[in-house]
Amino acid sequence: MPVHPIEYRYGTREMKRVWTEESKLLYMLKVEVALATAEADLNIIPEAAAKQIAHAAEKVNVKRVREIEKGISHDVMAVVQAVSEQLSVGADYVHYGATSSDIIDTALSLQLQDSFRILVTKLKKLRSVLVNLADENKLRVCAGRTHGQIAVPTTYGMRFAVWALEIDRHLQRIWEARSRIEVGQITGAVGTQAAFGKRGVEVQARTLELLGLRSVEVSTQVIQRDRYAEYVMLLANLATTLEKVFTEIRTLQRSEIGEISEGFGKGQVGSSTMPHKRNPIKSEQICGLARVVRSFVMPALENNILWDERDLTNSSSERIIFPEATILTDHIATLATNVLGNLQFHDSNIKRNLNLMRGLNMSEAVMIQLANKIGRQRAHEVVRLASMRAYESDETLVNALLKEPAVTEHLTKEQLEWITRPENYIGTAVQQVESVVALLRQEECPE
């Protein structure tokens, strides 16, 4: 009976497949086979034995491994015995010279490698959607906000460009981190490779060459957990970006703002009691699950604090945090792409909010123009006092300014009306967006 929501509610098929019990066993068997092959290549074990081990590994299944583990209470030895019992000869060469963590940690690195490949593909798609939105909305002027209050205008293109570049930085971080994270080890009981005699470095190098992983430079019985903490922090950082983006989308979908909204299916139900509701449930799901991903950072960091050459305190938590953090991050990245690809814009509300403050949000534009005539500090005070009076009297900024001799001496009503039009005060927004779009579209092109 399913218990965890990942089993039936969250996660994509391709990412969950990487983290199934069956897949974990296959990764471990792949390491055992590579080890035997490497040892045969180096004439440490007979070549025939390595081939027999590879053939035997194909016959091992989760059910049998579970049965063995139930009796011996050791997961890796259960795999070793499951392979060995398939052999008439050569059983003594299975797992030759290795320790359990050589298999577990190296198999984990293979899982992380495949997870990265899936996640990078998803993030490139998400980046592309954001780039397109930036390009399509570079002229869609809207109210900027600081401290939750309406500020000078910006454009929706600017917002999407900022987010697109942030996703691009996550892709760069992943690229930079993979060389530190996608590593394996064949180092033995405490990292000295003593069981391999003088051939330990060669065994490790050849095994990991066969697996497509880099070798650790040095380790204890385990690969040091700072590498895996970095992996979890990468996921947490990405999830936090997604929460930031979709918190903004939820805010902009609020009834009193109503500038954009999630797509809403024809038969979709928003509330069990309020038939009119169109709730941003996908954005809320992204925000909620991002918090779960972030919560794994602390145990991931604490897993690096092991006694001496190792203890087992990391093992139990890692069985939870790696699959959950990876599957949930992939899930919300996929969901983010879907939501952004189906955003709805409500231009009448965007225009309404731009004009909501009767021109007060354009006070900086007036101040800058007036500063050229009477100096910046005096201009700021004149416009500030006029703005405060406009707040209190519910009049427009232009009308309030027309009562100021320091203003009317230099600016006409027609000039003030032009200055306070939002579309006339977006600076280099279009230029900046076009630059970002060109940069990121160039990165999308094949080399």
Q: Assign 263 a pLDDT band (cuts: 50, 70, 90).
A: confident
Coil, strand, or helix at residue 196? Answer: helix
Q: How far apart are CA 280 and CA 58, in angstroms?
A: 47
- Residue 440 is given by DSSP the state H
247 and 378: one domain? no
Rounded to 5°, the CA angle 279-155-166 comes to: 75
Rounded to 5°, the CA angle 386-388-391 comes to: 110
DSSP string for residues in 253-273: TSTTT-SEE----TT----SS
Q: Please, which residues have CB within 8 angstroms of residue 183's CB and are 6 or more apart in sequence?
A: 109, 208, 213, 214, 215, 216, 223, 227
Q: Is the residue at 47 inside a domain?
A: yes
282 and 375: one domain? no
pLDDT score at 266? 75
Whether the Cβ atoms of residue 283 and residue 250 lie closer than 8 Å to each other: yes
Coil, strand, or helix at residue 427? Answer: coil
Q: How far apart are CA 383 and CA 403, in angstroms?
A: 11
288 and 379: one domain? no
318 and 411: one domain? no
pLDDT tens per residue, range 79-109: 999 999 999 878 899 999 999 999 999 999 9
pLDDT score at 162? 98
Q: Please, which residues have CB within 8 angstroms of residue 376's CB and are 6 or more apart in sequence?
A: 367
> Which domain, by its residues, includes 402?
360-419
Which residue in 28, 168, 108, 115 sits closest to 328, CA to CA? 115
Concerning whether 271 is annotated as a catalytic residue, the answer is yes
Q: Is the residue at 102 inside a domain?
A: yes
Q: Of the residues 291, 325, 351, which one is the last residue of a structural domain? A: 351
Q: Going by DSSP bridges, is the β-strand pair 214-215/183-184 parallel, antiparallel, or unpaired?
A: parallel
121 and 95: one domain? yes
The structural domain count of the chain equals 2
Residue with tokens 């955003």: 343
217 and 332: one domain? yes
Strand partners, 214: 183
Q: Of the residues 351, 378, 405, which one is the last residue of a structural domain? A: 351
311 and 199: one domain? yes
17 and 43: one domain? yes
Q: Is the residue at 25 inside a domain?
A: yes
Q: Is the residue at 370 inside a domain?
A: yes
φ, ψ (nearest 5 deg) of residue 117: -60, -45
Q: How far apart are CA 225 and CA 191, in angstroms?
A: 15
pLDDT score at 220? 93
Q: Is the residue at 128 inside a domain?
A: yes
pLDDT tens per residue, range 120-153: 999 999 999 999 999 999 999 999 999 999 999 9
pLDDT score at 447? 43
257 and 382: one domain? no
Tokens of 158: 């600017």
Cα atoms in the 13 Å half-sphere on the side-chain side of 442: 6
Whether the Cβ atoms of residue 96 and residue 196 lie closer than 8 Å to each other: no
Concerning whether 317 is annotated as a catalytic residue, the answer is no
Q: Is the residue at 60 inside a domain?
A: yes
Mean pLDDT within 28-44: 97
Coil, strand, or helix at residue 12? Answer: coil
Mean pLDDT within 30-40: 98
Tokens of 128: 């592309």
Q: Of the residues 333, 351, 369, which one is the last residue of a structural domain? A: 351
- CATH number of the domain bearing residue 282: 1.20.200.10
Options 88, 147, 255, 348, the catalytic residue: 147
Options 55, 101, 115, 271, the catalytic residue: 271
Whether the Cβ atoms of residue 408 and residue 374 lie closer than 8 Å to each other: no
251 and 203: one domain? yes
Mean pLDDT within 246-261: 96
289 and 403: one domain? no
Mean pLDDT of the chain: 95
Q: How far apart are CA 79 and CA 35, in angstroms?
A: 14
Q: Is the residue at 5 inside a domain?
A: no
Q: Assign 157 a pLDDT band (cuts: 50, 70, 90).
A: very high
Mean pLDDT within 24-35: 98
Residue with tokens 């180096």: 42
Q: How far apart are CA 155 and CA 352, in angstroms?
A: 15
Residue with tokens 């992996």: 231
Q: Assign 445 a pLDDT band (cuts: 50, 70, 90).
A: low
- Residue 216 is given by DSSP the state P
Q: Is the residue at 431 inside a domain?
A: no
pLDDT tens per residue, range 76-85: 999 999 999 9
Strand partners, 345: 260
387 and 239: one domain? no
